[in-house]
Amino acid sequence: MHSFQELTIQFGEHFSKEHFPQQPKKLYDAASHILTIGGKRIRPVLAIMGNELFDDIHQDAFHVGTAVELFHNFTLVHDDLMDKAPLRRNKPTVHTLYGDTAAILAGDVMLIKVYEYLNKVQPQYKQKLITAFNKAAIEVCEGQQMDMDFEETEPEQVQYNDYVNMIALKTSVLLAASLQMGAIIGGGSDYNQQHIYEFGKNIGIAFQIQDDYLDAFGDPEKFGKQQGGDILVNKKTFLLLKALELCNPAQHKQLKTLLATSPDDKVNQVLELFRDCKVDVWAGKEKERFQQLAFEHLENIAVISSRKKPLIELADFLLKREH
């Protein structure tokens, strides 16, 4: 069994090749740019880990991992365009460098490349893989639309369960499907595939709760972001939605005023309200709830426990980070 770190290195070496031709230069430079920005490569490595949970790693897991990583980056190109974001990981976004049209086309060609890689896998499970991928890809688009709809909705009108569902669709299902597709390659049964899918989905939700918490309460030097960045832009987060649900009428009024204005001490005032409403305590418990759900599904997978160790270690790493 390999650790996440070992598989990250292996996948990085596999993925570092050129994926696109040279002409038309603007189109393929735009597509290549997002790949040079890098990232943790969590999704493709999960596909390989899903394979190794059940059997020796097969080359097809790297084809699926490449497809998943290209799809993820395709979504980033289009998300940045929709958000009019100038930077990603402190580097210019594709549309900023190459223009909106090239960014749209670059995303389109990346999506087509996804299916080229999926078509490289062995025929006996190609249909299952493509079905699992298509389901996740559609749900990611649904989650993005829900997120954009929520941006135009007053915070107290967004139901908590709807927000959880949006996060699951936008971010978690691709993690879950990556594991499931790896399990398909490894010969995992439908029963085991469902449990590994739910493991990935719940870990993804727990991770987002933690991310929202760290944006508000984390140490900026460790987290690498300005404290309260989400608060400054009134981003709907787990913390904000729960605070609006838990706070008393006076606190609710104060929070609504802060959302409508931008005093110099806005972050500190909102954080004080969050603490008064015990949202910080709630977030820790909610993260643990989803983490526990994930581990229950992992426990139910019918393989010897030693094969699950790399996934447990990865989940612990992701959910105990400080930055």
Angle of the 190-217 helix axis to the 266-276 helix axis, nearest 10: 120
Q: Rounded to an integer, what distance in angstroms lies between the CA atom of residue 238 and that of residue 191? A: 31
Q: Write out the two tokens for 140.
A: 């990611």
Confirm if 63 and 120 have CB atoms less than 8 A apart: yes
3-state secondary structure of 22: coil
Of 269, 270, 279, 217, which is closest to residue 246 (Cα–Cα)? 279
**Would you place residue 242 in the very low, low, confident or very high pLDDT band (cuts 50, 70, 90)?**
very high
Dihedral sign, Cα of residue 213, residue 216, residue 217, residue 218: positive
Compute the mean pLDDT over every residue in the chain, rounded to the nearest whole number: 94
Q: Write out the two tokens for 321.
A: 């980070």
What pLDDT score was predicted for residue 323? Answer: 40
Q: Which residues contact 71 (CB under 8 A, 6 or more apart)?
A: 110, 111, 114, 133, 137, 174
Of 228, 217, 202, which is closest to residue 278 (Cα–Cα)? 217
Q: Which residues contact 317 (CB under 8 A, 6 or more apart)?
A: 4
Q: Write out the two tokens for 79.
A: 């998300």
Confirm if 143 and 99 have CB atoms less than 8 A apart: no
pLDDT higher than threshold 60 for residue 71: yes
pLDDT digits (tens, 9 = 90+) for 23-46: 999 999 999 999 998 788 999 999
Q: Rounded to an integer, what distance in angstroms lies between the CA atom of residue 202 and that of residue 181? A: 17
Q: What is the value of pTM for the model shown? A: 0.94
Of 217, 170, 262, 151, which is closest to residue 225 (Cα–Cα)? 217
- The whole-number average pLDDT for the span 72-93 is 92
Cis check for the bond before 44: say yes or no (omega within 30 of 0): no
Tell me the percentage of the chain whose pLDDT exceeds 90: 87
The percent of the chain in helix, strand and coil, each rounded to the nearest 5, is 75, 0, 20
pLDDT digits (tens, 9 = 90+) for 157-195: 899 999 999 999 999 999 999 999 999 999 999 999 999
225: left (phi over 0), alpha (psi -120 to 50) or beta: beta
pLDDT higher than threshold 70 for residue 296: yes
pLDDT higher than threshold 90 for residue 56: yes
**Would you place residue 14 in the very low, low, confident or very high pLDDT band (cuts 50, 70, 90)?**
very high
Of 116, 88, 122, which is closest to residue 103 (Cα–Cα)? 88
Q: Per mean pLDDT, which range of 220-224, 266-270, 289-293 is the poorest?
A: 220-224
Domains of the chain: 4-320 (1.10.600.10)
